[in-house]
Structure 1
Amino acid sequence: MVDLELVRRIADAAEEADGAAPLDEATWLALLHRPETVRSWVRVDGFALLIGEDLSIVVDPSARGRGLGAGLAADAVPAAGPVEAWSHGDHPAAEVLAERHGLERTRELWVMRRPSSVPLPQLPVREGITVRGYQPDDAEAVVRVNAAAFAAHPEQGAMDLANLRERMAEGWFDPAGLLVAVDSASGEVLGFHWTKQHSPALGEVYVVGISPAAQGRGLGKLLTLTGLHHLASKGVDEVLLYVESDNAPAIAVYGGLGFEHAANDTHVQYGRPNLCKRSDRVGSL
């Protein structure tokens, strides 16, 4: 079994030093709910985790520069087959390790941020569409829309009812922050914007998913703006989101809403060429 207390201590120290969390939500959910799926190599000052094809290597800042990361990589990087590893913050040391093991830079994920001090546009009116907070009987519809919206993105698209419930069991979950767009006449769920509040000061555009059958009705902008107004009402100082660096249409939408990207707010994925799957952290705009 993984020593969760030790992993959390090292991860917290790395986040404080680097300004970015070294483990994503999916990794934590696996550690907490499906520990049997996690292969681990844990040292007193660092660890490596392998969950399927996803590799994480984290070294306590106080122990860096001693070859610990290289040793963990030598143990944990599979000799063959697909593997994916994220560098949260695009660290030069991660690039060196990746090259040593034949892994190439395959994706860049941008963090874009928006200060709440910038006024928000008024909410657009979409005839025949109602946006409301999540209700318990929406679960199956949200999973269905998510699967259709992210059919080309296995990580997010694979969310089932069990995974939805795991996320909703987290301390940050607020039903009012999971905004659902429904057809006013039929009640059919057309899309959703799941917001997240990390702290009193920080919110996130967590997932925006639109049913392919409802594309072209302006739901992306409507749901995104509704979520931003919700987070502003909670008093956050800043809202962030994640977007693929090559998703020009989404970047244009977010830029028009006041989001900006700084070069050091970039996460890089390394993997074996032609063996990497692709996924988005946020939605189908």
Structure 2
Amino acid sequence: MDDAAEVTRIADAAEAVDGASPLDEAARIALADGAATVIVERGGFALLHDGDLSLAVQPDSRGRGVGTALLEGVASYDGELVAWSHGDHPAAARLATTYGWERVRDLWVMRRPTSLPLSPLELPDGLTIRSYDDSDADAIVAVNAAAFASHPEQGAMDRGNLARRMAEPWFDPAGLLVAEDGSGVLGFHWTKQHDERLGEVYVVGVSPQAQGRGLGKLLTLAGLHHLAGLGVEEVLLYVESDNGPAVAVYSRLGFAHADADTHVQYRRGA
């Protein structure tokens, strides 16, 4: 079995027990594209790409020092590193404390059952929300860059990264909703269907010039109607825990957060 297949196997085994995958989308893409440095040993792996570390140990190999050995194996990496604990695991917190990694971000997962009723989508005059077509690519990249200028992951999306995401098996142009008026594209809501049961508010981006018009809520609501129409049972989203305005909007739309649905990012200085 090659390293990529073994990483996937270990990640799937960990997810089955932990309820969250140790590999986020960026890590999976880097692994599939051969753009990551991979260490596999003793039922665990460490995966490095662009200063981001993913580390996991399969459940039946835990408690044997595998995670510690893997973390020590990347100690010679030159530069700042960040790593996510998908699910805020105590073992990850202990490793972080032992090796001087700082807790820097809490990312919440919020969930909403589609059994909750949705408000009707009522758009102001002159505003249209429609599905994506190929002529929207440059506008989507531009709005995304402006909306997420300070976001360390999403803000870096360029045309190549957009195309790479659209090459994923789950991509459906009907689920990428674009808001526009006479001035052009103002925002978008990219939805994602994981399987028959689960949908996701993948990305909602609104141009700074269109802020204050309630467009984020309208786009989110439009996406929820779309996902409900697909028959999913639940919709999830990711939001920074300290983004009070966004958390408030999502809460009013029926999303809720449980403590176990917290992802923690740690950072090791250069």
Q: TM-score, normalised by structure 1?
A: 0.91
Q: Equivalences for 1:199-238 in 2 at 5 Å?
A: 199-238=195-234
2:120 corresponds in structure 1 to 122
2:52 corresponds in structure 1 to 54
Query: How far apart in 1 are the matches of 2:77 and 2:30?
Result: 23
Quote the offset at 1:43 in angstroms.
1.5
1:163 corresponds in structure 2 to 161
Query: How far apart in 1 are the matches of 2:126 and 2:213?
Result: 10
Q: Equivalences for 1:100-111 in 2 at 5 Å?
A: 100-111=98-109
Query: How far apart in 2 are the matches of 1:162 and 1:104?
Result: 32
Q: Equivalences for 1:35-184 in 2 at 5 Å?
A: 35=34, 37-78=35-76, 81-183=79-181
Q: Which amino acid aligns with 1:75?
A: G
- SS of residue matched to 2:250: helix
Q: Which amino acid aligns with 1:230?
A: H
1:260 corresponds in structure 2 to 256
Q: Which amino acid aligns with 2:103?
A: R
2:11 corresponds in structure 1 to 11
Equivalences, count? 270
1:31 lines up with 2:27 in the alignment:
no
- SS of residue matched to 1:233: helix
Are residues 40 and 79 of structure 1, via their aligned partners in 2, closer, same or farther at CA, if it must alter by over 3 Å?
closer
**Per-residue CA distance 1:186-228 (angstroms, 9 max, x = gap):** 4x11100000000100000000000111111221011000000
Quote the offset at 1:78 in angstroms.
4.3
Q: Which amino acid aligns with 1:257?
A: L
Query: How far apart in 1 are the matches of 2:152 and 2:13?
Result: 31
Identity %: 64
Query: How far apart in 1 are the matches of 2:6 and 2:103?
Result: 29
Are residues 145 and 70 of structure 1, via their aligned partners in 2, closer, same or farther at CA, if it must alter by over 3 Å?
same
Quote the offset at 1:80 in angstroms.
5.9
Aligned-pair Cα RMSD in Å: 1.5
- Retained in 2: the 8 A contact 1:126–1:218? no
Q: Which amino acid aligns with 2:22?
A: P
Quote the offset at 1:272 in angstroms.
3.1
1:245 corresponds in structure 2 to 241
Query: How far apart in 2 are the matches of 1:209 and 1:78?
Result: 38
**Greater displacement, 260-269 / 79-88:** 79-88
Query: How far apart in 2 are the matches of 1:103 and 1:41?
Result: 20
1:22 corresponds in structure 2 to 22
- SS of residue matched to 1:154: coil
Quote the offset at 1:52 in angstroms.
2.1
**Per-residue CA distance 1:57-110 (angstroms, 9 max, x = gap):** 111111111110100000013466311111001111001111111101111000
Quote the offset at 1:41 in angstroms.
1.0
1:195 corresponds in structure 2 to 191
